[in-house]
Amino acid sequence: MIEAWSVADVRAAEKPLLTAGVPLMERASFALATVVARDLARRRSIALPDGGRRDGRVTGARAVLLVGSGNNGGDTLHAGAYLARRGVEVLAVLTGEHAHAGGLAALRDAGGRVEVLVGSPDGAAHGDGHDDRHHDHLDPHVADRVAAQAARADVVLDGLVGIGARGALRGVAADLVERLTAVLDCGPAHGPEGLGRPWVVAVDAPSGIGVDDGTVPGPVLRADRTVTFGAAKPGLLLPPATHLAGHGAVVDIGLRLGAPGPHAPGADAAGLGAPGLGAPGLGAPGLGAPAPGAPAPGVPGPDAPAPDRGTMTPVVRRLEPADVAALWSVPGATDHKYTRGVVGVVAGTPTFPGAAVLVTTAAVRTGPGMVRYGGPDDATRAVLAARPEVVPAAGRVQSWVLGPGVPAVPGPGDDPVDDGGQHERARAALAAATATAATATDATTTDATPERVPAVVDAGALSLLPDRCPPSVVLTPHAGELATLLRAHGDDVTRTDVEAEPLRWARRAHEATGATVLLKGSATVVVGPEGAWSQADAPAWLATAGAGDVLAGILGTLLAAHAERVVREPGLAARLAAAAAVVHGLAAERANPGGPVAALDVADAVPGVVAELLAAR
């Protein structure tokens, strides 16, 4: 599991180390240089006669560093010095009035070149909270020259501003990023044949993103790789900024975040969740020794001081495949169809029977004991033709999936809709999902239900919600539906607002309703009583009709398998919702790697994904 921490918590974790004289900048810059050198070697790889490839030489590669005034610029300059000693041709483009003195001296001593855009580079540098966004605009001819130099490079390091900066880039930095984006963001990065644009590496975070909230208030240079120090930052996991961060590597510089206890350096770098990430150990051969007097980078030492963690909690988390496998319920020898979980589905209408097929298929393919369906005759016939194992009869269920393919309840003055009786069925099921244990009853039978039934509430059923729900009810809106829901609670918000700040508005929906909220989008954001999750496992091809119905079916099965715990443990529904998003995204990739997918194909790919996850645990 990946945990992303606020800038304030990262600063609190750094403070005792800096007070004790721990050289964090040397550790960070050495780690950054190691990752960049590894990337350069792989991207300059050489074809072998047997069809394989061998890592290429770093010597002779060209690097352009975009350097601001703060400590982030110092990290970048020191990393450039390490690379220059390795034989990389390094050009540092200084965008601020000052540069980090030690980093600048190290780069020059190593043979790196420097180009100054603003002021003098030799003044004292400011701290990491300082940025270079308030200067006058950059001369267009200068911007063109820098962009041309960057376009000829093998790698560009973005060290313009640090994680302490706030708001959009402005002035020189904004002008430079806009020009670089126009020149560089026009094709694949340099591959083994050396074609395309340079590989862009963001230092700690892409300059200009909202580091704590994932917003994108202005221009940002899209990164192919982000090397972040000490801990993941929320903006690297949260949309929309997560899509600008590229592959991620968290390098260990000795910070102690998370649960109290001995710090185990373990892996020196960890991926941020995309396939094939990871990063080398910080002692990778070939970069040479750390700066004189610096300890082995990444090793905190047994007596390293720890911050006060009393108020520290991650801003957002991300599940990895192993976490999903650990959550999965695997049947045993004594299980039967009723103990494995029964999913009740109220989806589809005479106009949209396909939604019922997609939800029930996805639920069946995820592995419950049984799926029951309640709906109009046309939809029932379509479901049974596609999935004859679905039971179109009333009976006890352990979870509900309500609303896919069902229209919203018409408002005053709206034309009536043909819901095929689904509004009535969904209302009854919501009564079971939100009632107390003493009054809950199954919506399709007279049998008593011993406690609340977890539910997935989607599409038209969102218009049927009571004022408050327990967290065992999971809402699965897209941005437009979430905006509609929030307006009903008095918020002045549009779809565009939700897409710009998904974490903020998903949190607001959780606060307003009490329910767990899964906000669908290019990256999925889940908010529950224990915090937030963000999953970015799905290919862009998954933005297709019916994909949300498949997700609802997957999640319904997970809730049914853990129904009693979901009702007892307020945070479990959110973890299962995040797990469903992981399986949904992996199934989309498995259905047709690198190409278009149809929703039903995604559902059919789920069993293979689950088998792979379980085989690896």
Annotated binding site: 71-75, 158, 162-168, 204, 207, 355, 405, 478, 520-524, 548-549
What is the DSSP-derived secondary structure letter of residue 441? B
N-term to C-term CA, the chain: 14
CA distance 265 to 276: 21
Annotated binding site for AMP: 520-524, 548
- Cβ neighbours around 45 below 10 Å, total: 15
Asked if 170 contacts 68 with a C-beta cutoff of 8 angstroms, the reply is: no
What DSSP assignment string belongs to 115-157?
EESSS-TTSPPP-TT--S-SSPPPPHHHHHHHHHHHHT-SEEE
Annotated binding site for K(+): 72, 158, 207
CA distance 590 to 267: 29
CA distance 194 to 88: 16
Helices and strands counted in the chain (H then E): 18, 20
Q: Which of 209, 312, 194 is nearest to 258 (CA)?
A: 312
Question: Could you tell me the two tokens for 35?
Answer: 């990752």
Asked if 109 contacts 99 with a C-beta cutoff of 8 angstroms, the reply is: no
Q: Which residues, at least 6 apart from 285, have a Cβ–Cβ distance to it below 8 Å?
A: none
Annotated binding site for (6S)-NADPHX: 71-75, 162-168, 204, 355, 405, 478, 549
Question: Could you tell me the two tokens for 216?
Answer: 């994108």
Q: Which of 439, 441, 438, 464 is nearest to 394 (CA)?
A: 441
CA distance 525 to 53: 38
Asked if 590 contacts 605 with a C-beta cutoff of 8 angstroms, the reply is: yes
Asked if 72 contacts 163 with a C-beta cutoff of 8 angstroms, the reply is: yes
Asked if 69 contacts 132 with a C-beta cutoff of 8 angstroms, the reply is: yes
Paired strand residues for 455: 400, 473
CA distance 112 to 313: 41
Paired strand residues for 263: none
How open is the CA angle 402-406-408, to the nearest 5 degrees?
A: 100
CA distance 400 to 408: 18
Whether residue 280 is preceded by a cis peptide bond, meaning omega within 30 degrees of 0, is: no
CA distance 77 to 27: 13
CA distance 101 to 122: 6
Rounded to the nearest 10 degrees, the angle between the axes of helix 24-43 and helix 71-85 is 50
Asked if 245 contacts 251 with a C-beta cutoff of 8 angstroms, the reply is: no
CA distance 230 to 252: 5
| 301: amino acid identity, one letter | G
CA distance 223 to 244: 6
Asked if 323 contacts 1 with a C-beta cutoff of 8 angstroms, the reply is: yes
